[in-house]
């Protein structure tokens, strides 16, 4: 999928994200999580039980790596809202700084930057490993550039924070970063060092509404990977780590050592992989080797979170751009190979297309008004993603709901 088309397709979805207009009845089917070994989700289920029991400072952290279905934080935002409504709001999680791509935004958090705070993101055409970091991007800035992140003014969650953490880079010739909490300077970070290294700075605050500003003070350039917003718990955090237009194997272009370090730093209890839509259309993909290649990638990325549970989400249904209403035949093969790769890598698997209703379900989801899909037959609207997120949340919560 071309990046421009992916981004443009998200615009109507963003408009629907917070629309409470009653919608025609579209429901997801009950599809259990597949876990042949029976233990792929043990770590996450244990974390949920600690949170549900009200243990002090218990937090269940989730990372969702994916493509454009994740990039707008509609699916992950709905998942975050549902899990936090049930178990507690432990913070928004990780967010990129600056304009990582047009329309980059997350639900239930405020963030932005001046134009001179520029973000480069992972792209399908990248072939050599680059230091993109956890969110698939890195923001670079010169003197005077400012980025900010803070609590949401309204919404069901995200209105309080007690801990920020800035993920940044030290490098030869790096400049200084000034951190301001609610307008007051709290730290100056010198980013000059003999080599490129990941660095971190935590800013604590009384639990409540806050805004953290990050200004590049010069004289050299600065690089920031993003910021984390959390609370003390108990509760749930969902890191939404989607990048438009990516196929799963494009993650190989992100520096594996840095990504592993960032994942380790976040200490997730569950790492979710949500790709497949672009894998179907990626000319370089070889279906004969896709299962093995994906299993190797899953295993490599999990080195950063070796104790975390792992879940692969199969792609949602989709239509061709023609009007015949058929789905791409290779989607069947991608789903089956992802299911096999999940087993090979010790991950669980959840079939999103089956939850939608199986092959051809996208055409049925396109009928009701207000819309549950976009007109491209590839992406869902905010309502549609909310339906799927609700179905997944029910499956993830099943272990603590069982007698």
Mean pLDDT of 248-268: 91
74 against 131, higher pLDDT: 74
Q: Mean pLDDT check: name the lowest of 86-95, 178-187, 248-257, 264-273.
A: 248-257
pTM, to two decimals: 0.91
Does 3.40.50.1110 match the CATH number of domain 1-90+234-403? yes
Give the three-state DSSP class for 10.
helix
Contacts of 370 (CB under 8 A, 6+ apart): 16, 19, 21, 23, 24, 381, 383
Considering only CA atoms, which of 180, 167, 236 is closest in space to residue 210? 180
- Is the model's pLDDT at 276 over the cut of 60? yes
* pLDDT, tens only, 61-117: 999 999 999 999 999 999 999 999 999 999 999 999 977 888 788 999 999 999 888
Contacts of 399 (CB under 8 A, 6+ apart): 41, 45, 48, 49
Considering only CA atoms, which of 167, 153, 175, 152 is closest in space to residue 197? 167
And the tokens for 327? 């789905």
* pLDDT, tens only, 363-385: 999 999 999 999 999 999 999 99
And the tokens for 38? 């029976």
Mean pLDDT of 172-198: 98
Domain ranges for the chain? 1-90+234-403, 91-232
* pLDDT, tens only, 135-169: 999 999 999 999 999 999 999 999 999 999 999 99
Which pLDDT does position 176 carry in this prediction?
98
Which pLDDT does position 25 carry in this prediction?
79
CA–CA separation, 328 and 306 (whole Å):
35
1-90+234-403 and 91-232 agree in CATH topology: no
Q: How far apart are the first and last CA of the chain?
A: 45
* pLDDT, tens only, 197-229: 999 999 999 999 999 999 999 999 999 999 999
Q: Categorize the per-residue pLDDT at 19 as very low, low, confident or very high, splitting at 50, 70 and 90.
A: very low
- Is the model's pLDDT at 37 over the cut of 50? yes
Q: How many residues does the structure list for the chain?
A: 403
CA–CA separation, 330 and 279 (whole Å):
9
* pLDDT, tens only, 283-301: 567 888 999 999 999 999 9
CA–CA separation, 398 and 367 (whole Å):
31
Considering only CA atoms, which of 91, 132, 125 is closest in space to residue 108? 91
And the tokens for 193? 């060092």
CB atoms within 10 A of CB 29: 12
Q: Categorize the per-residue pLDDT at 8 as very low, low, confident or very high, splitting at 50, 70 and 90.
A: very low
Which pLDDT does position 273 carry in this prediction?
97
8 A C-beta contact, residue 91 and residue 231: yes
Which pLDDT does position 205 carry in this prediction?
98
Percent of the chain with pLDDT over 70: 89
Its CATH class, for the domain covering 91-232, is mainly beta
């Amino acid at each position: 999928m071309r990046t421009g088309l992916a981004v443009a397709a998200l615009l109507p979805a963003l408009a629907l994200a917070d629309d409470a207009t009653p919608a025609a009845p579209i429901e997801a089917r009950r599809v259990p999580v597949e876990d042949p070994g029976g233990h792929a989700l043990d770590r996450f289920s244990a974390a949920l039980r600690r949170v549900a029991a009200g243990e002090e400072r218990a937090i269940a952290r989730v990372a969702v790596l994916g493509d454009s279905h994740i990039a707008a934080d509609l699916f992950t935002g709905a998942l975050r809202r549902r899990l936090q409504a049930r178990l507690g709001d432990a913070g928004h999680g990780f967010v990129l700084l600056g304009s990582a791509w047009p329309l980059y935004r997350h639900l239930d958090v405020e963030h932005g930057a001046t134009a001179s705070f520029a973000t480069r993101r992972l792209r399908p055409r990248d072939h050599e490993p680059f230091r993109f970091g956890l969110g698939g991007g890195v923001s670079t800035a010169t003197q005077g550039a400012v980025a900010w992140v803070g609590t949401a003014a309204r919404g069901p969650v995200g209105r309080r924070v007690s801990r920020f953490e800035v993920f940044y880079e030290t490098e030869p010739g790096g400049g200084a970063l000034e951190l301001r909490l609610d307008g007051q300077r709290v730290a100056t970070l010198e980013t000059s060092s003999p080599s490129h290294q990941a660095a971190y700075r935590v800013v604590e605050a009384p639990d409540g509404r806050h805004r953290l500003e990050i200004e590049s003070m010069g004289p050299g350039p600065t690089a920031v990977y993003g910021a984390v917003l959390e609370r003390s718990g108990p509760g749930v955090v969902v890191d939404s780590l989607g990048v438009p237009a990516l196929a799963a194997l494009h993650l190989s272009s992100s520096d594996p050592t840095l990504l592993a370090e960032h994942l380790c730093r976040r200490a997730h209890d569950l790492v979710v992989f949500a790709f497949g839509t672009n894998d179907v259309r990626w000319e370089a993909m070889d279906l004969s080797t896709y299962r093995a290649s994906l299993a190797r990638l899953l295993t490599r990325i999990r080195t950063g979170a070796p104790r975390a549970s792992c879940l692969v989400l199969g792609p949602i249904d989709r239509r061709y751009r023609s009007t015949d209403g058929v789905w791409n035949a290779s989607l069947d093969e991608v789903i089956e190979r992802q299911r096999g790769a999940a087993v090979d890598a010790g991950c669980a698997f959840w079939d999103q297309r089956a939850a939608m209703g199986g092959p051809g379900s996208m055409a049925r989801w396109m009928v009701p008004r207000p819309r549950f899909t976009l007109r491209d037959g590839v992406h869902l609207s905010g309502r549609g993603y909310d339906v799927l997120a609700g179905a997944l949340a029910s499956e993830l919560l099943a272990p603590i709901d069982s007698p």
